[in-house]
């Protein structure tokens, strides 16, 4: 039987969870439709999801359409939980992007569509809520073709002329074949040709209906079965799977959600995991709406595996060649979280560590000096959810304070430093020399060697490389350093020395610890010579407002340090786009209604980083401050 791993994606409140309910009901999985408002849906299982009426965690349900087993992944729509969407996209065969027939194309709709197109994920579009007052399907379809993709085609129902026009635009060979023998292109042939273009991510069928009333669901089901690329995996191929979600049982045991691309896995199997392996102790697969216990799982399936010590993104067996990386924007906010009861400080750190396992884009920083723990987040709703989760699931009441914008640092020039073994003021049994210079944008941290790899044990070289990447999480101003090249220019060590009776003598022998402790001092000295520039996160904005309010709107954007790029006025409406500091977007959203008589609307998406034009902000350090040699050595040598 073929398998289709299908994602349901949407801007918040477009109705994707209601659509999931309708698909399950139509497939006979549930006898009665659940309600988002009543908290009775199949996929919103968390108490917090039911209480707030929003999807927070991606959920998987299964049903059959014809000879296709559909594993449906319902994803969050709120941008604060974009990390859940990112992980789901990496394991999908296809997607349904849901839009509201009232609101039309919204900010998150654009982000999701751009990502689907960039990753080449086949997708259908479903314009929902036709039963709502104010629904305008014609306007929404124009928005789709104008703002999302010109390759959209309305398929209620399939009209041959419309399909021919689109395929002729997309494929010259099709056009030539059709002009030569038009009679050969029957409706079944046209459907096959369209399915091929959908699978390539070139054509996007659009359906219209209502998840609440069931209108249009039959046509959408037909599109899911016949236009999206269901697959039959190779059970005899080597095991290849990806972990895209991690949960913990009440007792603390990890449950890994794995998409199996090839091969199969059975209970008690030992499976390769990176450089090691893990033993599978239990398996559940999704069947007829829920997860059921199974002795094995085959290719194409989504399975819940117990017994494995894994993190999101880990690979089982061989790495799949076609796994996609969504690369959504990073979190731009950071807040300090504190327990209401001081006795909960230890349990809070453990609970937050478990939460970051489930959501790797939540960054966790602990300042031992100030005894503060900071989290990086996407927004206020996510903060509220974490607060409620800590209270409900872990019994820990917390408060948040000091929400700030997360900046980054970029290397300005080139700097070098070295400390030699046996020469003051170096107190460590190691020689380390490093050169730091800027790398290409988006290149990450590159570590290179100008010393012979065999000049000292590889474990010492690896200790330097790992410590370099760890240390660069806090640059000269305390922010993470992006995109730089670090080259090791000097190396040296004392070989293992022993006393007459074979006892290891640390005082005369280098260890990896010497290199780990010396590297931050050398690296930060080189970085200080190179210099860094603090950059703040920027959002690209699109703002619509009545043309006669353009003056107040422009003044508001100027106070927010926004940089308008274009301004168009049409039919009494002005549309502006440009860039705005992420730190100012919330302020503009709050003040925009008063500046536009309540008629203004602004969409924003992450758009990279820009040098801070005012005084460079700094962040407190958590790494014993290798920029202050005396302070650093006091902590490190005392620890040694």
Out of 33-37, 83-87, 278-282, least confident range: 33-37
pLDDT tens across 295-341, in order? Answer: 999 888 889 999 998 887 788 888 877 665 555 567 888 889 999 99
Give the model's pLDDT for residue 41. 54
Give the model's pLDDT for residue 76. 65
Per DSSP, the three-state class of 147 is helix
Rounded CA separation 412/427 (Å): 30
Q: Does position 385 have pLDDT exceeding 60, yes or no?
A: yes
**Helix boundaries (H) for 157-216:** 160-170, 172-180, 187-199
Give the model's pLDDT for residue 250. 72
Q: Which domains does the chain have, with CATH numbers?
A: 2-227 (3.40.50.300), 240-317 (2.40.30.10), 333-406 (3.30.70.870), 410-530 (3.30.230.10), 537-611 (3.30.70.240)
Residue 60's nearest CA partner among 2, 22, 7, 16 is: 7
Q: Does position 40 have pLDDT exceeding 60, yes or no?
A: no
Dihedral (CA of 379, 382, 384, 386) sign: negative
Rounded CA separation 220/214 (Å): 11
- Asked if residues 438 and 483 have their Cβ atoms less than 8 Å apart, the reply is yes
Give the model's pLDDT for residue 318. 84
Q: How far apart are the first and last CA of the chain?
A: 60
Rounded CA separation 585/431 (Å): 48
Mean model confidence pLDDT for the chain: 86
Higher pLDDT, 189 or 274: 189
Q: Is the pTM of this model over 0.75?
A: no
Average pLDDT over residues 509-532: 96
Average pLDDT over residues 611-639: 88
Q: Does position 133 have pLDDT exceeding 60, yes or no?
A: yes
- Asked if residues 584 and 560 have their Cβ atoms less than 8 Å apart, the reply is yes
- What is the number of other CB atoms lying within 10 angstroms of the CB of residue 580? 23
pLDDT tens across 56-67, in order? Answer: 566 788 888 888
Residues facing 124 on adjacent strands: 96
Give the model's pLDDT for residue 49. 47
Give the model's pLDDT for residue 44. 46
Query: Sheet harboring 94-100: ordered strands across?
Result: 59-65, 68-74, 2-10, 94-100, 123-128, 204-208, 152-154
pLDDT tens across 99-127, in order? Answer: 999 999 887 788 788 888 888 889 999 99
What distances in angstroms separate CA 520 from CA 190, 269, 308, 514, one per listed residue? 63, 42, 34, 11
pLDDT tens across 437-484, in order? Answer: 999 988 999 999 999 888 889 999 999 999 999 999 999 999 999 999
Q: Does position 269 have pLDDT exceeding 70, yes or no?
A: yes
Q: Does position 54 have pLDDT exceeding 60, yes or no?
A: no
For the chain, percent helix, then strand, then coil, each to nearest 5?
A: 35, 30, 35
- Asked if residues 530 and 437 have their Cβ atoms less than 8 Å apart, the reply is yes
Q: Does position 632 have pLDDT exceeding 90, yes or no?
A: yes
- What is the number of other CB atoms lying within 10 angstroms of the CB of residue 547? 15
Rounded CA separation 353/462 (Å): 26
- Asked if residues 310 and 99 have their Cβ atoms less than 8 Å apart, the reply is no
């Amino acid at each position: 039987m073929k398998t289709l791993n299908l994602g349901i994606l949407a801007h918040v409140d477009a109705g994707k969870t209601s659509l999931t309910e309708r698909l399950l009901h139509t497939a006979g999985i549930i006898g009665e439709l659940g309600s988002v408002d009543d908290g009775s849906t199949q996929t919103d299982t968390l108490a917090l999801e039911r209480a707030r009426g929003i999807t927070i965690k991606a959920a998987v349900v299964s049903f059959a359409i014809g000879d296709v087993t559909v594993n449906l992944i319902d994803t969050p729509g709120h941008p604060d939980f974009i990390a859940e969407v990112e992980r789901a996209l990496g394991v999908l065969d296809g997607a349904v992007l849901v839009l509201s027939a009232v609101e039309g194309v919204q900010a998150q709709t654009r982000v999701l569509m751009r990502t689907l197109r960039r990753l080449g994920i086949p997708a259908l579009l479903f314009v929902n809520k036709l039963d709502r007052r104010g629904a305008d399907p014609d306007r929404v379809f124009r928005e789709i073709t104008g703002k999302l993709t010109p390759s959209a085609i309305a398929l209620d129902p399939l009209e041959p002329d419309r399909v021919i026009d689109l395929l002729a635009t997309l494929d010259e060979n099709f056009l030539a074949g059709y002009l030569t023998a038009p009679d050969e292109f029957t409706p079944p042939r046209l459907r096959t040709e369209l399915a091929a273009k959908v699978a390539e991510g070139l054509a996007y069928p659009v359906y219209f209906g209502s998840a609440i009333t069931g209108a249009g669901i039959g046509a959408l089901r037909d599109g899911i079965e016949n236009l999206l690329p269901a697959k039959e995996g190779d059970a005899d191929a080597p095991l290849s799977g990806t972990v895209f979600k991690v949960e913990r049982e009440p007792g603390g045991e990890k449950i890994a959600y794995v998409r199996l691309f090839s091969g199969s896995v059975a209970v008690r199997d030992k499976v390769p995991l990176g450089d090691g392996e893990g033993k599978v102790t239990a398996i559940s697969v999704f069947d007829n709406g829920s997860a059921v216990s199974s002795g094995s799982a085959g290719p194409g399936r989504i399975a819940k595996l117990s017994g494995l010590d894994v993190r999101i993104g880990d690979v089982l067996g061989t790495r799949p060649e076609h796994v996609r990386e969504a690369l959504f924007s990073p979190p731009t906010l950071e807040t300090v979280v504190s327990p209401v009861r001081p006795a909960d400080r230890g349990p809070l750190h453990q609970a937050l560590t478990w939460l970051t396992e489930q959501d790797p884009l939540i960054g966790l920083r602990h300042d031992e000096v100030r005894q503060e723990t900071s989290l990086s987040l996407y927004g206020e709703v996510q903060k509220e959810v974490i607060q409620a989760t800590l209270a409900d699931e872990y019994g820990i009441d917390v408060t948040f304070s000091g929400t700030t914008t997360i900046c980054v640092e970029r290397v300005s020039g080139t700097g070098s430093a070295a400390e030699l073994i046996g020469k003051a003021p170096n107190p460590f049994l190691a020689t380390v020399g490093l050169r730091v210079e800027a790398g290409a944008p988006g290149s990450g941290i590159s570590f290179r060697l100008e010393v012979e790899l065999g000049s000292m044990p590889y474990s010492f070289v690896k200790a330097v490389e790992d410590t370099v990447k760890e240390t660069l999480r806090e640059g000269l101003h305390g922010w993470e350093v992006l995109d730089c090249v670090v080259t090791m220019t000097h190396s040296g060590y004392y070989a293992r020395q022993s006393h007459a009776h074979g006892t290891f003598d640390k005082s005369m022998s280098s260890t990896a610890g010497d290199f780990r402790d010396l590297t931050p001092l050398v690296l930060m000295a080189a970085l200080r010579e190179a210099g860094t520039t603090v950059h703040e996160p920027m959002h690209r904005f699109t703002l619509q407002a009545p043309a006669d309010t353009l003056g107040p709107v422009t003044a508001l954007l100027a106070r927010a340090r926004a940089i308008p790029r274009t301004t168009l006025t049409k039919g009494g409406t002005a549309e502006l786009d440009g860039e705005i500091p992420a730190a100012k977007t919330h302020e503009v959203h709050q003040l925009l209604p008063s500046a536009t008589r309540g008629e203004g609307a602004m969409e924003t998406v992450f758009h990279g980083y820009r040098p801070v034009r005012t005084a460079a902000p700094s962040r407190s350090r958590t790494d014993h401050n290798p920029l202050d040699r005396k302070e650093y050595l006091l902590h490190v040598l005392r620890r040694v």
